[in-house]
Structure 1
Amino acid sequence: MPARAAELWPTVIVIDTEYMVSQVLPIAEELHTAIPSCSMLLLCDPAKRGMLPPRRWAGGLNFVLKDASDAVLADSIRRLAAGERVVSPMLQAASLNTDRGLSTRELEVLGLAAEGESVREIAGRLYLSGGTVRNYLSAVITKTGARNRLDAIRIARKGGWLH
């Protein structure tokens, strides 16, 4: 695959796989070596084991949710082609383990709130009740020492947990 890709010299490669990220990394590294200017976009399903982005890997691999809309996917590809880095906030939040003791689910909910989604939208997307989403947000506010949801998002961004 890397040899064929090197012949085509693409700007962006989209990888949609059922393999765990750790299994994709060697191929991505080969591609990155063969075509250093090429960005790679891995479509991830955070519900599956091993599908979250690694905390530290700078080999040109980017991450978007597998069920992302066509518009999000197209925008991500355009941004990658322009030289930006793309990591879905939901995946980024889920992959972090903070020293404040926030759970993966709390970070996931906070990441969606940071994207501007309402409690109702977050609940629908994560298959939770609105009350459960509010409980997660309350827990995040308490654990971060924030005054409200916006303050918790600011603290999380300042701490590098969300971008």
Structure 2
Amino acid sequence: MTPPSVDPIHVIVADDQVMVREALATLLSLEPDIVVVGQAGNGADTLALLDKRRSQPSEPSIDVVLLDIEMPQLDGLTTCSAIRDRFPSTRVLILTTFGRPGYVQRALDAGASGFLVKDAPSQQLADAVRRIAQGLRVIDPTLAVEALTRGASPLTDREAEVLRSVGSGGTIADVAQDLGLSQGTVRNHVSAAMLKTGARTRSEAVRIATESGWL
């Protein structure tokens, strides 16, 4: 049920898929208490919209930003962290196709107030925006249970960085050059990541870590 007359909730929708972004914006605009004031296709444009809004004192501030995770230039988690640092009064709802438990903890660590998958009912999305605007936290219940069961990522930041580089198709020599490490150090990080993920090969370690939302 829509709450009684209150100030509207001002929202930005950020997603690199145009049709998805416009559909989300249209659905939210149907709600009498939610106003979509901007759309962005990547994290950099999202931050630019927030900067522009802040430079216009006559315009109300942004209450909630809906962020996809996998976007060009700046991904959703990096953008979320930047928003929390630069615009502390603006709350973030991560909305993604990828229902990976590891993403939930990473999103919360980045400062997100909510996490939903895109196949959630439209009314659930609108209610999540309202709750987050009120200062509450909203997490997809199934993913929350899975995240608690699986626990936090066992990978160190460097191990995750190495696996991401391996996943892009780089050889040990390529990864070493890209990250400024020795080949022996890269091999050690890969071996540790394989042990922690229970993988038999580098590619399997990348797959397991990706599917778990640790990369």
Normalised TM-score (structure 2)? 0.39
Q: Over alpha carbons, which structure has the higher Rg?
A: 2
Normalised TM-score (structure 1)? 0.49
